[in-house]
Amino acid sequence: MTDWSSQQNTLKARRAELMGEIAGIEDALDDPAPKDWEEAASERQGDEVLTALGIHDAAEIRRIDAALARIAEGSYGTCVTCGAQIGAARLDTLPDTPFCISCA
Ligand SMILES: [Zn+2]
């Protein structure tokens, strides 16, 4: 059985980083709306950017969780589409990818 501990550590570290980012985003979104109209408009715009960023982060966390689950069940490193082995270099760069280079 392949030892995926380095990928596992990378995935866990990235997950912790994303969780911290999401917590920061939620704090920023909780800020009370400013009274000034112009300021309120730019705050709303900022909130949209923050929300989009949060959605992006949440999607990455789901991919990381899925990858960690594949490590746990022993299917990690195998393409979910064609069943081919995913290259080690590819897994080093994209540890959360479930696809081999030809299915990506
Ligand atoms: Zn494939």
Q: What's the gap in Å between 95 CA and the centre of ligand 1?
A: 15
**DSSP letter, residue 78:** B
pLDDT in tens, 49-94: 999 999 999 999 999 999 999 999 999 999 999 999 999 999 999 9
Gap between the Cα atoms of 36 and 18, Å rounded: 32
Q: What's the gap in Å between 68 CA and the centre of ligand 1?
A: 19
Residues 86/92/94/98 CA torsion (nearest 10 deg): 30
pLDDT of residue 1: 65
Q: What's the gap in Å between 98 CA and the centre of ligand 1?
A: 8
pLDDT in tens, 39-51: 888 888 889 999 9
Q: What's the gap in Å between 80 CA and the centre of ligand 1?
A: 7
Gap between the Cα atoms of 72 and 40, Å rounded: 47
